[in-house]
Amino acid sequence: MTWDFAEVNFFSESVGSVETVLKTLSTTLMYFSPSHHGGRAEQADSQNQSVSIGRVVSTDPPYYDNIGYADLSDFFYVWLRRTLRPVFPDLFGTLAVPKAEELVATPYRHGGKEQAEAFFLNGMTQAMHRLAQLAHPGFPVTIYYAFKQSETADDAGTSSTGWETFLDAVIRAGFAISGTWPMRTELGNRMIGSGTNALASSIILVCRQRSEAAPTATRREFLTALKSELPAALTHLQRGNIAPVDLAQSAIGPGMAVYTRYAKVVDAEGKVVSVRDALTLINEVLDEAMAEQEGDFDADTRWALVWFEQVGFNDGAYGDAEQLSKAKNTSITGLEQAGILSSKGGKVRLFRPGDLPAEWNPLTDIRLTVWEMVHHLIRVLEAEGEGAAAKLVAALGTKAEVARELAYRLYTLCERKKRAAEAMSYNGLVQSWPEIVRLSREVQPEPPAQGALL
């Protein structure tokens, strides 16, 4: 038998000791404002509870079928009942932990997988509806979504994901969604995350009660509102330095805010536009907004972006590269002079960051491109760290901000093309950006070389 935990000495100073645990808890509590109100625990059915009346609510619902808490609790309950039943007779009145009302999708309790799913979603919708009715109207309700993504298909062959199904339940409950924020909630070194496809993040749904006077909109009106509001929201997220890996999920929030401000959205035939269709439209408009940002890039970078999407850092046919260069108003010779590719033997290949020259200086580059900026920054960041990258940003000045926009765009391309290694590099550059910029302000400009008198 192999255990996935280690027994520790509770009275030592090691990990898991009483002293270590108390120190960790007290450190966290120091971040909270002092309060004269004590905390309390109350057991109630989430579908009929009254605990949340007029309160600010942040809730972490059951994880569909991931964890059977009631079954696990029996391991401890049978022993606690022997010792604590005289103290808490109501709490320990049953022989085992009650399980019938537990809001999880357990097939063997409900007669099959479909019945278990229906039980969970109906119960979750009712629980969310209760929250929407009772929570303080002046504050949003935040709901953690941490289910592992899976797909199911109905009789018509239409597949749906757990994510869109849960969104649908929250919307049906009377909530309008104003944000979908990814949050790193799991330690990478936890035991279950070692060598398994375990969740690393949760998504926080930020919700408010939808107005009873919410209007009905047509699909065209919904799409027009999306195109008007989503690009500005995307720019705002990028300025806030949302990591590229989280950008698409974060941008769904403003998109769903548009969708859920209406009582319903209907198409030309009068059919309701589903959550699945709304998500598709949001992602399409998001792609368009990302593509429009390419207008800030120079012609060489726009060529490289399309070429990279087609072949990555691999070899491509010279004829194809030449044809594309005409469309982008540049030339293969000029791209070689810019130092972003090699062309020989009828093949063209973009340089990887590691292939670029270490002595590159943007101040003396006569054909400076955004593509060069990004990949030289990645080269320096991965080889020498944020301090060295800060020196490059200081030399680039105001031009550096456009490089970050390109990193976002390249990450999106890599994610779509399943190029994980390159995606990590672009994501790493954006995540390090605030610190790089901070350090760049501390870089002292080099004194100019003294010229001749005559």
* Separation CA 238–CA 279 (nearest Å): 20
CB 146 within 8 A of CB 199: yes
CB 230 within 8 A of CB 285: yes
Whether this prediction's pTM lies above 0.85 is answered by no
**What is the percentage of the chain residues whose pLDDT exceeds 70?**
86
Two structure tokens written together for 149: 């993504």
* Of 48-57, 180-189, 301-310, minimum mean pLDDT range: 180-189
Boundary-marking domain end, from 174, 195, 210: 210
252 in a structural domain: yes
CATH number at residue 109: 3.40.50.150
Q: What pLDDT does residue 7 have? A: 66
99 in a structural domain: no
With 90 as the cut, is the pLDDT of residue 87 above it? yes
Closest by Cα among 142, 198, 200, 162 to 64 = 162
Query: Same structural domain for residues 249 and 389?
Result: no
With 50 as the cut, is the pLDDT of residue 191 above it? no
Q: Which residue has the tokens 């000029």?
A: 334
Per-residue model confidence as pLDDT tens digits over 222-279: 999 999 998 888 888 877 777 776 777 788 888 899 999 999 899 888 899 988 888 8
Per-residue model confidence as pLDDT tens digits over 104-161: 888 888 888 888 888 888 888 899 899 989 999 899 999 987 655 445 555 544 444 5
Query: Same structural domain for residues 423 and 382?
Result: yes
Q: What pLDDT does residue 169 have? A: 83
Boundary-marking domain end, from 296, 311, 327: 296
Boundary-marking domain end, from 272, 296, 320: 296
255 in a structural domain: yes
* Separation CA 420–CA 443 (nearest Å): 33
The residues near 30 (Cβ < 8 Å, ≥ 6 apart) are none
Per-residue model confidence as pLDDT tens digits over 287-345: 888 777 777 788 899 899 889 988 899 999 888 888 788 777 788 888 998 999 999 88
Q: Give the single-character DSSP code of 369.
A: -
Query: Same structural domain for residues 417 and 321?
Result: yes
Type of residue numbered 409: R
Q: What pLDDT does residue 190 have? A: 47
Query: Same structural domain for residues 128 and 190?
Result: yes
Query: Same structural domain for residues 232 and 334?
Result: no
Per-residue model confidence as pLDDT tens digits over 10-51: 777 766 678 888 888 888 888 877 777 777 888 888 888 898
Query: Same structural domain for residues 204 and 59?
Result: yes
Closest by Cα among 86, 118, 96 to 105 = 118
Q: Specify the 3-state DSSP secondary structure of 5.
A: coil
Query: Which is more confident, 343 or 198?
Result: 343
Q: What pLDDT does residue 371 have? A: 95
Query: Same structural domain for residues 181 and 268?
Result: no
Average pLDDT over residues 55-78: 83
| Residue 194 pLDDT class (50, 70, 90 cuts) | very low
Two structure tokens written together for 445: 């400009």
Type of residue numbered 242: I
**CA-to-CA dists, residue 323 to 317, 332, 349, angstroms:** 10, 10, 15
Query: Same structural domain for residues 217 and 143?
Result: no
Per-residue model confidence as pLDDT tens digits over 399-446: 888 898 899 889 888 988 888 889 999 999 988 998 999 999 887 666
Per-chain mean pLDDT for the chain: 83
Two structure tokens written together for 47: 């579908």
34 in a structural domain: no
* Separation CA 302–CA 409 (nearest Å): 11
| Buried/exposed 356-375: b ≥16 CB within 10 Å, e otherwise | beeeeebeeeeebbbbbbbb
**E strands, 290-426, in order:** 316-317, 341-344, 347-350
**E strands, 166-278, in order:** 175-184, 201-209, 216-218, 264-266
Beta-sheet pairing, 216-218 with 264-266: parallel
10 in a structural domain: no
Per-residue model confidence as pLDDT tens digits over 349-401: 999 999 999 999 998 988 999 999 999 999 999 999 999 999 999 998 888 88
With 60 as the cut, is the pLDDT of residue 198 above it? no
Q: 128 φ, ψ to 5°?
A: -65, -40
Q: What pLDDT does residue 140 have? A: 93
Number of other residues whose CB lies within 10 A of the CB of residue 271:
11
Query: Same structural domain for residues 311 and 342?
Result: yes
Query: Same structural domain for residues 408 and 365?
Result: yes
- Domain of 367 in residue numbering reads as 297-440
Average pLDDT over residues 86-102: 88
* Separation CA 125–CA 152 (nearest Å): 19
Q: What pLDDT does residue 187 have? A: 55
96 in a structural domain: no
Q: Give the single-character DSSP code of 426.
A: H
Residue 81, burial from CB neighbour count under 10 angstroms (0-12, 13-18, 19+): middle
With 80 as the cut, is the pLDDT of residue 64 above it? no
Query: Same structural domain for residues 126 and 62?
Result: yes
5 in a structural domain: no
With 80 as the cut, is the pLDDT of residue 183 above it? no
15 in a structural domain: no
Query: Same structural domain for residues 392 and 425?
Result: yes
Two structure tokens written together for 181: 């924020």
Domains identified in the chain, total number: 3
**CA-to-CA dists, residue 65 to 109, 148, 150, 205, angstroms:** 12, 10, 12, 20
